Amino acid sequence: MSLDCHHCYGKEPAVNGIANGEAPPGTEGPEEPAGTETPEAPAAEEQAPVPVVVEEEEEHHELTGMFLEKPSDTVAIKGQDITFIAKVDSTTLVRKPVIKWLKGKWMDLGSKAGKHLQFKETIDKNTKVFTFEMKVVKVVPGDAGGYRCEVSAKDKCDSCSFEITVEEAETQGEEDILSAFKREGAGEDEGELDFSSLLKAVKKKKKAVPKVEETDVWALLKNAHPSEYEKIAFEYGITDLRGMLKRLKKMKESEEKTSDAFIKRLDSAYSVDKGKKIVLSVELVDPNAEIKWLRNGQEIKPSAKYIMERNGNIATLTINKCSLADDAAYECVVGTEKSFTEVFVKEPPVTITKLMDDYHVVVGERVEFEVEVSEEGANVMWFLEDKELVRTENSKYRFKKDGKRHWLIIQEATLEDIGMYHCYTNGGHTKGELEVEEKELQVLQSIADLTVKPAEQAMFKCEVSDEKVTGKWYKDGVEVQPSDRIKISHIGRFHRLTIDNVKPADAGDYTFVPDGYALSLAAKLNFLEIKVDYVPRQDPPKIHLDVAGNMVTQNTVIVVAGNKLRLDVEISGEPPPTVVWAKGDKVVDAKEGRVRVETRTGLSSFVIEGAERDDEANYSITVTNPAGEDKANLFIKIVDVPDPPEHVKCTGVGEDCATMTWEPPQFDGGVPLKGYLMERKKKGSSRWTKLNFDMYESTTYEAKRMIEGILYEMRVFAVNGVGISQPSLNSKPFMPIGPTSEPTKLTVHDVSDSTVHLRWLAPEKIGAGGLDGYIIEYCKEGDTEWQAANTEPVDKQNFVVRNMPTGEKMNFRVVAVNIAGRSPPALLGQPVTVREIMEHPKIRLPRFLRQKYIRQVGDTINLSIPFQGKPRPQATWLKDGKPVDDKKINVRNSNVDTILFIRSAEREHSGKYTLVLQIENMEDTASIDIRIVEKPGPPIAVKVTEVWGFNAALEWQPPKDDGNCEILGYLVQKADKKTNEWFTVYECNRRTNCSASELVMGNEYSFRVFSVNMCGPSEDPGVSKNTAKILKPSIGFTAPPYQEMDMNCAPLFTTPLVDRSVIQGYSAAMSCAVKAFPRPKIIWMKNNMLLGEDPKYLMMNNQGVLTLNIRKLGMFDGGKYICKAVNPLGEAAVECKLEIRPQPVLEKK
């Protein structure tokens, strides 16, 4: 038997009318002086290489104020958290506002969001106000500097700057006396009370931020060694190294010389950011001299990009929207004199938008580290640890870039390439780890023994794990050479040796040896000779099974799933016997198909094409003839790669590790499992990293060398003698996180007979797992069994442990808990004796209550008086020596303070209040003088006592009710009988009498007086019962007879209307004057049409001066305007023409 198997900054213009000479709507106000600079946040990280006049390019956004609330300058303490808030009103915005947080001029903080920088955005749907927050966690000195917040929405934008100053944290001294004012120690329901706002603020001097000096990059280049040029160029963003060297050479050759043409030459070099504009300026001796501007030796023609201007003897060249093409040498030529300069265009920082992945490969595999940056054509630098990788002829590293993507390629990795690879741009950094393992060759299918007949074909086939591996075939130790009859092939992972027309000499031991590996695969070729013997005519049938091959043992045939099985069984007998194959009890008689039987003389073949798992069964072959019967049983075993492992999950995590478990595959392929292979990847990445190359036999694995806070996924392969299974389903994403460090500064805050109050601070290291709370545990001194005081973690950093045995010494510890488990415990230095300490009662009366406490009627009085004492003192309030009335005054006492509350104060609440604090026979007292005041009553008996000349004397008596406080003075007013309008004579007269002067002759005056105290003037005045009449002196005069003049006249315009020419958008006023009696009726008409009650037109008549005001003139407001005056004696009219001119288009500078 044989076996065969196969920015923007700005202000909105004001809208005014023409009448007061202001600009019309839509026009801009006066420009700022040329020397005015737009305020910007100080750049802490980047400085301009050389001084330069750089103007911001005009933005296409509308300049508007969008912030409701802006971040402000902050002095932060190192190690603390700070939060900046910006609010934007979106009611008038078309689109959602977009915000950017920047440090310095260019660094976008959005790409650095993580543990240190956290960003949050919320919206109030009712008011449509967006709130943007930036939180800096645990401030470090590197966070100091200038920051900018930019918000934009379609055609609107706004910007504001703020600064962070970082100071060292001050060491905490002993707790001051105001710690007793903290209500936190009172218990769980007393809330907080803090009197720190009553103390005078102590202003700390703000530390001066050291000013970073501007660096002249060209001065650095001139003084630097040529070997440092490339490093300086990369640091300051210079991209054209060859051009830099040429210009540097010119700069060294051209020194400043005295000139007959130039008073002030161009600077040696200018620096400008890409996209901005720059102004090159020279001062000439002759203001009328002709000049030329050259760029790289070519004359520059005036255009929208290049603007040339002359102002006296100052000549300027303005370059708008600078690009990298403008990075060139420029000359200003006056006659034979030249002034040279270099313009250096600086690109904005390039950030990394796609980070590097980690690689885990074997020796000889290709590695491609890929990153993606924010700008096309940007320069990046690659490093292995601290060594820069550069391109050389013999370098194994290749660098490739396509648009924004950049690659570092290692064609064949070796063990020397292991390490951390870094990629740097001038605005970002990323890294990825490369792990290289020794290559191990796995035999997926070994060669099998063959038994063939003369002239048949023999094929040895094997499969290895690496398709690149080559090898040699040997027969009896001698290398097999290919020929017309012997063929050697290598396709992918399969290696074949095919021998056609097998001869007896081909029998022997064949071996396949892979190149470079100490491994060999051996099999035997058996040659089956056909012998013709004389057989009697009556010979019983017989089955001849060949069991020489190692694949057939104890009538069991092992076949790899998917391969072809051919069982050739020799049969003898005379007459020729009948052959029957059966699978179990079912006869297999198909001549064609996947499972078939082929019969020839003396030979029966059972063939299975592409063996499947269902083909595994007990098979039998039965041969019969008249001379007898023979039967043989075979078991065909189908082996396959195993099923994938199941239920891969993470059962535990650490700071940089995770424990994974899985279940073995349901089907092991019919071959015992050799072990498992594991792979992991970052969530969202498509790059899987191998975790092991040797077989791992357990179903629990601890994956290490992971990054805390990063989500990972994992999958597992099962391996048996046939091959590797398909990968398992990915595990649920898991994140390596470690427990926090122990809580810090655990102290005992208070002790009573049955409770212990503990306080502590948060752990110094929390990590990505956060902090879920704290568990407090205790045990008696000498015991080792700790008991938990709380079943659920507490969030607060203080806890009261209750039900403690009085007099016992107890140990306490606090443990921080998060998703990763428990932290190391924080222990007290020594046991605590549970016994309350007697403390004398002491009232801490606030400073403002040590003087008279004054409030107005109707005010709310809420006085909180902290005290101390143990055990809990008994607090009692007295008013004027008697207990307070509970119906009128509310009192609430706690362990650490007492509160006196009056909802609405009345005059009767005034008095002396005494607080008595008592513990057994010890007590302490404090008094508070409370006065409730209101406005006084009016003065009484106000009268005029004397009148002389233009003066009058007044007297009155103080009011009966002074409002429970001192009368500060009196408010005196007068009124004449004609108008009855009151005017103030004295605002605050201290005495109860006064004199009013400068009275008008012939008038009669009344007087009233108000009482004034600290609450204000009295509600009602005291009015004088008599008056003061200023008499005229008697003079004899006889008036002549009066002849009344006739004033009647027809309307007559004394001043006509004047023709006007006004710019569209302005307001216009047209005036004329008319005299007439009786008073005429005034009619205004436009183009003989009456002007109605349109609010656009305002008509006024002031003593015969007639004015027509027209607001915001449009082009349709032009025409003929007529003013007509009509009275019973006649009528008159005047007219004028109003011409409307369109707004001129202002040229923008």
For 651, the token pair is 């059962």
The 10s digit of each residue's pLDDT in 6-57 is 433 333 333 333 333 333 333 333 333 333 333 333 333 333 333 333 333 3
**Predicted pLDDT of residue 1051:** 93
Given a cut of 90, whether residue 791 has pLDDT beyond it is: no
Q: Tell me the backbone φ, ψ of residue 1132, rounded to 5 degrees.
A: -150, 155
For 84, the token pair is 């900046």
Q: Which helix (H) or strand (E) holds 339?
A: strand 337-346
Q: Give the torsion through C-alpha atoms of 11, 16, 21, 24, to 10 deg.
A: 80
Q: Residues with Cβ < 8 Å from 897, sequence gap 6 or more?
A: 183, 186, 193, 864, 865, 866, 867
Mean pLDDT of 85-96: 83
The 10s digit of each residue's pLDDT in 660-669 is 999 999 988 8
The 10s digit of each residue's pLDDT in 995-1010 is 999 888 888 999 999 9
Task: Yes or no: say if 786 and 836 are a contact pair by the CB < 8 Å rule.
Answer: no
Could you tell me which residues are beta bridge partners of residue 293? 332
Q: Find which of 665-674, 680-689, 1131-1140 is predicted with most confidence, using mean pLDDT.
A: 1131-1140
| DSSP class of 1112 | S
Separation CA 581–CA 596 (nearest Å): 10
Task: Yes or no: say if 261 and 289 are a contact pair by the CB < 8 Å rule.
Answer: yes
Within 90-144, strands assigned E span: 98-103, 107-108, 117-124, 129-136
The 10s digit of each residue's pLDDT in 489-528 is 999 889 999 999 888 888 888 999 988 777 788 888 888 7
Separation CA 670–CA 672 (nearest Å): 7
63 pLDDT tier (thresholds 50, 70, 90): very low
| Closest to 998 (Cα-Cα) out of 946, 1032, 950, 952 | 950
Helices (H) and strands (E) in the chain, counts: 3, 90
Task: Yes or no: say if 294 and 278 are a contact pair by the CB < 8 Å rule.
Answer: no
Mean pLDDT of 597-612: 85
Separation CA 700–CA 678 (nearest Å): 11
Mean pLDDT of 298-304: 89
**Predicted pLDDT of residue 532:** 53
958 pLDDT tier (thresholds 50, 70, 90): very high
> Given the DSSP bridges, would you call strands 603-608 and 565-574 parallel, antiparallel or unpaired?
antiparallel
Task: Yes or no: say if 164 and 143 are a contact pair by the CB < 8 Å rule.
Answer: yes
What is the CB neighbour count within 10 angstroms for residue 677? 20
- Dihedral angle sign, alpha carbons of residues 209, 210, 214, 220: negative
Separation CA 885–CA 891 (nearest Å): 10
For the chain, the distance separating the N- and C-terminal CA atoms, rounded to the nearest angstrom, is 101
Given a cut of 70, whether residue 1021 has pLDDT beyond it is: yes
**Predicted pLDDT of residue 106:** 67
Given a cut of 80, whether residue 568 has pLDDT beyond it is: yes
Q: Tell me the backbone φ, ψ of residue 496, rounded to 5 degrees.
A: -130, 145
The overall average pLDDT reported for the chain is 82
Chain CA centroid to CA 1078, Å: 78
Task: Yes or no: say if 443 and 521 are a contact pair by the CB < 8 Å rule.
Answer: yes
Chain CA centroid to CA 1071, Å: 63
Entry field: residues in the chain: 1149
794 pLDDT tier (thresholds 50, 70, 90): very high
The 10s digit of each residue's pLDDT in 416-466 is 889 999 999 877 889 899 988 877 778 888 888 888 888 888 999 998 888
- 327-340 in b/e form (b: 16+ CB < 10 A) is bbbbbbebeebbbb
| Closest to 1097 (Cα-Cα) out of 1073, 1133, 1121 | 1121
Task: Yes or no: say if 925 and 978 are a contact pair by the CB < 8 Å rule.
Answer: no
Q: Residues with Cβ < 8 Å from 655, sequence gap 6 or more?
A: 708, 736, 737, 738, 767, 820
For 502, the token pair is 């097998």
Separation CA 1111–CA 900 (nearest Å): 63
**Predicted pLDDT of residue 1121:** 93
Q: What proportion of the chain, given as a percentage, has pLDDT over 90?
A: 31
**Predicted pLDDT of residue 179:** 40
Read off the pTM.
0.35
- Dihedral angle sign, alpha carbons of residues 935, 941, 947, 953: negative
Separation CA 886–CA 1016 (nearest Å): 32
